[in-house]
Amino acid sequence: MGLLPSWVESANEPGCDFPLNNLALGVFDTDQGPRCGVAIGDQIADAATLEAIGLLDLGAPLLTHPSWNALMAAGPDIWADFRNQITALLHEGAPKRAQTAPHLHAIQGATLHLPFTVSEFTDFYAGRHHATNVGTMFRGADNALPANWLHIPIGYNGRASSVVVSGTPVRRPWGQVKTPDESVPRFTPSQRFDFELELGAIVGQSSTGPVSVAQANDMIFGYVLLNDWSARDIQAWEYQPLGPFQSKATATTISPWIVMRAALDPFRAPPPNRDIPLLPHLADSGDDFHDIALEVALSPKGGKAQTITRTNTRELYYSPAQQLAHHSTSGCPMRMGDLLGSGTISGATPDSRGSMLELSWGGQTPINLNGTPRAFLDDGDTVIFHGAAIAPDYRIGFGPCDGTILPALPNPYAP
Amino acid sequence: MGLLPSWVESANEPGCDFPLNNLALGVFDTDQGPRCGVAIGDQIADAATLEAIGLLDLGAPLLTHPSWNALMAAGPDIWADFRNQITALLHEGAPKRAQTAPHLHAIQGATLHLPFTVSEFTDFYAGRHHATNVGTMFRGADNALPANWLHIPIGYNGRASSVVVSGTPVRRPWGQVKTPDESVPRFTPSQRFDFELELGAIVGQSSTGPVSVAQANDMIFGYVLLNDWSARDIQAWEYQPLGPFQSKATATTISPWIVMRAALDPFRAPPPNRDIPLLPHLADSGDDFHDIALEVALSPKGGKAQTITRTNTRELYYSPAQQLAHHSTSGCPMRMGDLLGSGTISGATPDSRGSMLELSWGGQTPINLNGTPRAFLDDGDTVIFHGAAIAPDYRIGFGPCDGTILPALPNPYAP
């Protein structure tokens, strides 16, 4: 299948993130209050209004609230119906073009909000190069991968309350830190604040018991880019024995557009080679991975954005479906609106690493940022993720996922 | 202050968990649908109806939904007003006794639901004897307490979706396990399923930035007993390096009645002795601990309940307010409805340990349960927590927090 042509001409241009094939879902505001919208070219189709005036009929009003949760809850048949109806309205030669056209708004100038209400947030650790890099730095090359790593997708629960939409500034956190050569800890603004390049999977259907990998795949509604901001110095001191906590709780930024699973189906990819077969409950059920190109640009305050890494979601060792299946094994109820971060996606080469921790190798080999050495994030830095699945004549893009670092507040506990 | 006498005579009886001093909050159903109710003696005052008919006036309808979240959101002044108005209705000699009396229902026979909607669930590790016991078993006596333990309340995020109310059966989970002497992992029902005796603190007010210990104390709405069911064999294999995950996600049971903070104020207790002073942002702000006696009974299928441990919340090293303050240090937004588990509360002696793991010392020294050795939980076991703050002439009780273990399902992934 090639490009689906739309009467919205910008959607047909090469390099556009939002052709008719995509139909990414956001919540936008053009000073009339936040509403559900669908990205098309450089425009947003006001889906809430299209539903309200009857051009979109999903059997029940699902877009009356400014979030896509109600559509998610309606289930996969409605997801497909929704895509068919929006496609029919926006396709080249669409009979209802004239009625639809007044409900398009430029993306530029619109305020984008979180596209869904996050029920709970889980962050995995499913990138093998990332786990190997971090393990090598923390525990040495001989013990880089934890013993369980090739057998289960390691993950930990995060904070849904800290998930923010692209563009939200991120305040450098305070926290307790202690380096190995210090005798006592101190309370300080983080000096090793970092990004993590991840893919976020959105659970669109609930479950009450264990689900298979194939079932889990069907439960996934869509995907976002995800930046799991990380305070490495706080993390190093706090993470034993119960895992990361405050180091990951300042913010997690997601891209403003949900790319639905169906849009990425043409870009499905096979699993990686496995040194050790997975147990049956986690076995690969098919081409559950995706070929999505990712890159990160870093723009220092007043400076020029520079691409500092390029990688691909094919570097994941566990698919989002395997992450979700594992998440359910103990009977953990999974809920519509749950967000699963993949873990940092690093490639094999130094220029494809998905965090400053890895790019600067724990600060030992700073990168060259417009001629200046840089180990971690500075105040005023803007970190920008881009991601797209790329076909010969179109691409399925996510739109930018960015955040700017604000300086730490004065000591919030000063007497 | 002594017992506040009520015209509900059972509330004045010695040993009653719910005197007028308590006013614990639940959601109950007597076949007319779930509603907000207040425990008084062996009765429940139908608070939703009292509000609906105007005997209770909180300035706005706060009890129209079967959860106490709306009251929480209304803030501390309304919490106090609520207690004053309910006290005035139920006090001995209350002028409106006759109008109130028809809206009492026996606790016995009522179905109790979760008393609030849990936003997010965090589990701490704030009991020193528990951390020392577990650390000794896992890492040896010399490395029992992690290096950070005396400096910050270690915690990890759990799953709000898995929180259930007392009385909900708990299904033994499957999971991936590998003992050190096995060469490969296997997928199996947990053989080391356990309880954890904890106090749960309910966050009643939201925050967006770091809060002090004193502010955190004011944000706490109330308390419940909390059983963080734990699959020790799954935990041992999964928890490195990112902490417990599926081992803790099967279920967390809470007692059905929220004991409001004000009810426990007469039982405030000073902090423990500290070997190392806490940094200023976590310093003790006053008597933020409580003197609450706890006990656990274990009732095997068809057998008699036997008390297997007795301890006290004074064994905590970090108060709920210190846990909440630490939780906010990085700027993590805290929300009304967040639930913070204290971590297992064990005393110094072997008969005051708050988990089977500790009571049986990892299975090496099974306890004597009605003449039978017992290391972990068996199918059909019912675990029952009780807790109460005890004054000379009254007690503030939580009601039972119990759950019965159902056998594991057949392999959910069998071909």
B46-80 tens-digit pLDDT: 999 999 999 999 999 999 999 999 999 999 999 99
Q: What is the mean pLDDT of residues B379-392?
A: 98
* pLDDT computed for residue A36 by the predictor: 98
CA-CA distance, A150 to B45, in Å (whole number)? 55
Q: Tens digits of per-residue pLDDT, A98-155?
A: 999 999 999 999 999 999 999 999 999 999 999 999 999 988 999 899 999 999 999 9
* Domain co-membership, A319 together with A176: yes
Chain A nearest C-alpha distance from B51 (Å): 29
Cβ contact (<8 Å) for B412 and A210? Answer: yes
In this prediction, does ipTM exceed 0.90?
yes
Instruction: Count the residues in chain B.
Output: 415
* Domain co-membership, A99 together with A137: no
Chain A nearest C-alpha distance from B153 (Å): 9
pLDDT above 70 (res A268): yes
Nearest CA in chain A to B214: A413
* pLDDT computed for residue A138 by the predictor: 84
Sign of CA dihedral A114, A118, A124, A126: negative
Q: Tens digits of per-residue pLDDT, A41-57?
A: 999 999 999 999 999 99
Report strand pairing: A252-254 vs A163-165. parallel
The helix/strand/coil state of A110 is coil
% of residues, chain A, pLDDT over 70: 100
User: Where does the pLDDT of residue A226 fall: very low under 50, low under 70, confident under 90, or very high at 90 and above?
Assistant: very high
| CATH number of the structural domain spanning residue A146 | 3.90.850.10
Q: Give CB contacts under 8 A, 24+ apart, made by A56-62.
A: A56/A82, A56/A85, A56/A86, A56/A89, A57/A85, A58/A82, A58/A85
Which residues of chain B make contact with A156, given a CB cutoff of 8 A?
156-157, 242-243, 245
Closest CB from B159, B173, B244 relative to A242: B244
Chain A nearest C-alpha distance from B223 (Å): 21
First to last CA, chain A: 65
> Considering only CA atoms, which of A239, A188, A194, A232 is closest in space to residue B210?
A188
Nearest CA in chain A to B170: A331
Question: Rounded to 10 degrees, what is the CA torsion of B212, B213, B219, B224?
Answer: 150
- H/E/C letters for each residue in chain B? CCCCCECCHHHHCCCCCCCCCCCCEEEEECCCCCEEEEEECCEEEEHHHHHHCCCCCCCCCCCCCCCCHHHHHHCHHHHHHHHHHHHHHHECCCCCHHHHHHHEEECCCCEEECCCCCCCEEEECCEHHHHHHHHHHHHCHHHCCCCCCCCCCCEEECCHHHEEECCCCEECCEEEECCCCCCCCEEEECCCEECCEEEEEEECCCECCCCCHHHHHHHEEEEEEEEECEEHHHHHHHCCCCCCCHHHCCCEEECCCEEEHHHHHHHEECCCCCCCCCCHHHCCCCCCEECCEEEEEEECCCCCCEEEEEEEHHHECCCHHHHHHHHHCCCCCECCCCEEECCCCCCCCHHHCCCHHHHCCCCCCCEEECCEEECCCCCCCEEEEEEEEECCCCEEECCCEEEEEECCCCCCCCC
Tokens of A9: 């001409």
Tokens of B194: 């356990």
Exposure string of B244-266, with b = 16+ CB inside 10 Å and e = fewer, is bbbbbbbbbbbbbbbbbbbbbee
* Domain co-membership, B103 together with B143: no
Annotated catalytic sites of B, by residue?
A: 130
Report strand pairing: B111-113 vs B25-29. antiparallel
Strands (E), A301-392: 306-312, 339-341, 367-369, 372-374, 382-390
Query: Do the annotations mark residue A9 as ligand-binding?
Result: no
* pLDDT computed for residue B415 by the predictor: 66
For residue A2, tell me if it sits in a domain: no
Query: Do the annotations mark residue B125 as ligand-binding?
Result: yes
First to last CA, chain B: 65
Chain A contact present for B314, CB below 8 A: no
For residue B213, tell me if it sits in a domain: yes
* Domain co-membership, A375 together with A280: yes
CA-CA distance, B329 to A185, in Å (whole number)? 15
* Domains of chain B: total: 2
* Domain co-membership, A102 together with A143: no
Q: For residue B48, give every residue at least 6 positions away whose Cβ sits within 8 Å of its Cβ, in sequence order, or none.
A: B35, B36, B37, B63, B64, B66
The helix/strand/coil state of A192 is coil
Tell me which residue range forms the domain holding B359: 121-406
Chain B contact present for A157, CB below 8 A: yes
Cis peptide before A241 (omega within 30 of 0): yes
Query: Do the annotations mark residue B344 as ligand-binding?
Result: yes
CA-CA distance, B120 to B161, in Å (whole number)? 8
* Domain co-membership, B389 together with B267: yes
For residue A410, tell me if it sits in a domain: no
CA-CA distance, B97 to B61, in Å (whole number)? 22
CA-CA distance, B92 to B6, in Å (whole number)? 4
Residues 179-198 of B with CB under 8 A from A: 184-187
Cβ contact (<8 Å) for A330 and B159? Answer: no
The helix/strand/coil state of A300 is coil
Closest CB from B154, B251, B326 relative to A242: B154
Cβ contact (<8 Å) for B176 and A329? Answer: yes
* Domain co-membership, A141 together with A285: yes
Chain B contact present for A280, CB below 8 A: yes
Chain B nearest C-alpha distance from A30 (Å): 26
* Domain co-membership, B128 together with B96: no
CA-CA distance, A88 to A59, in Å (whole number)? 17
% of residues, chain B, pLDDT over 70: 100
Nearest CA in chain B to A338: B161
Point out the domain boundary residue: B113, B144, B177.
B113
User: Where does the pLDDT of residue B245 fall: very low under 50, low under 70, confident under 90, or very high at 90 and above?
Assistant: very high
Point out the domain boundary residue: B113, B131, B146.
B113
Mean pLDDT of chain A: 97
* Domain co-membership, A393 together with A275: yes
% of residues, chain B, pLDDT over 90: 97
Residues 85-124 of A with CB under 8 A from B: 119-120
Q: For residue B65, give every residue at least 6 positions away whose Cβ sits within 8 Å of its Cβ, in sequence order, or none.
A: none
User: Where does the pLDDT of residue A265 fall: very low under 50, low under 70, confident under 90, or very high at 90 and above?
Assistant: very high
Cβ contact (<8 Å) for B161 and A280? Answer: no
Mean pLDDT of chain B: 97
pLDDT above 70 (res A66): yes
Point out the domain boundary residue: B89, B113, B137.
B113
Closest CB from B119, B151, B231 relative to A330: B231
B208: left (phi over 0), alpha (psi -120 to 50) or beta: alpha
Chain A nearest C-alpha distance from B134 (Å): 11
* pLDDT computed for residue A415 by the predictor: 67
Cβ contact (<8 Å) for A238 and B415? Answer: no
Chain A nearest C-alpha distance from B408 (Å): 10
Query: Do the annotations mark residue A198 as ligand-binding?
Result: yes
pLDDT above 80 (res B177): yes
* Domain co-membership, B71 together with B167: no
CA distances from B16 to B26, B113, B389 (A): 17, 21, 11
Which residues of chain A make contact with B230, given a CB cutoff of 8 A?
none
Which residues of chain B make contact with A158, given a CB cutoff of 8 A?
157
Q: C-alpha angle A15/A21/A22, rounded to 5°?
A: 75
Which residues of chain B make contact with A184, given a CB cutoff of 8 A?
151, 276
pLDDT above 90 (res B412): no
CA-CA distance, A154 to A239, in Å (whole number)? 14
Query: Do the annotations mark residue B228 as ligand-binding?
Result: yes
Cβ contact (<8 Å) for B173 and A409? Answer: no
CA-CA distance, A378 to A358, in Å (whole number)? 16
* pLDDT computed for residue B1 by the predictor: 77
| CATH number of the structural domain spanning residue B75 | 2.30.30.230
Query: Do the annotations mark residue A57 as ligand-binding?
Result: no
Q: What is the mean pLDDT of residues A183-206?
A: 98
* pLDDT computed for residue B64 by the predictor: 98
For residue A411, tell me if it sits in a domain: no
For residue A414, tell me if it sits in a domain: no
User: Where does the pLDDT of residue B278 fall: very low under 50, low under 70, confident under 90, or very high at 90 and above?
Assistant: very high
Task: Count CB neighbours of B120 within 10 A.
Answer: 27
Residue B323, CA atoms < 13 Å, CB-side half-sphere: 30
Q: What is the mean pLDDT of residues B188-210?
A: 98
CA-CA distance, B48 to B153, in Å (whole number)? 38
Sign of CA dihedral A348, A349, A350, A352: negative
Q: Which residue is associated with the tokens 């609450």?
A: B292
For residue A70, tell me if it sits in a domain: yes
User: Where does the pLDDT of residue B165 fall: very low under 50, low under 70, confident under 90, or very high at 90 and above?
Assistant: very high
Q: In a mutagenesis test of the A interface, which of B132, B184, B330, B340 is the best target, namely the one with the most A β-carbons within 10 Å?
A: B330
User: How far from the centroid of its chain's Cα atoms is residue B316's Cα?
Assistant: 14
For residue A4, tell me if it sits in a domain: no
For residue B167, tell me if it sits in a domain: yes
Question: Rounded to 10 degrees, what is the CA torsion of B62, B67, B71, B74?
Answer: -90
* pLDDT computed for residue A139 by the predictor: 85
* Domain co-membership, A279 together with A358: yes
Query: Do the annotations mark residue B378 as ligand-binding?
Result: no
* Domain co-membership, B44 together with B127: no
Annotated catalytic sites of A, by residue?
A: 130
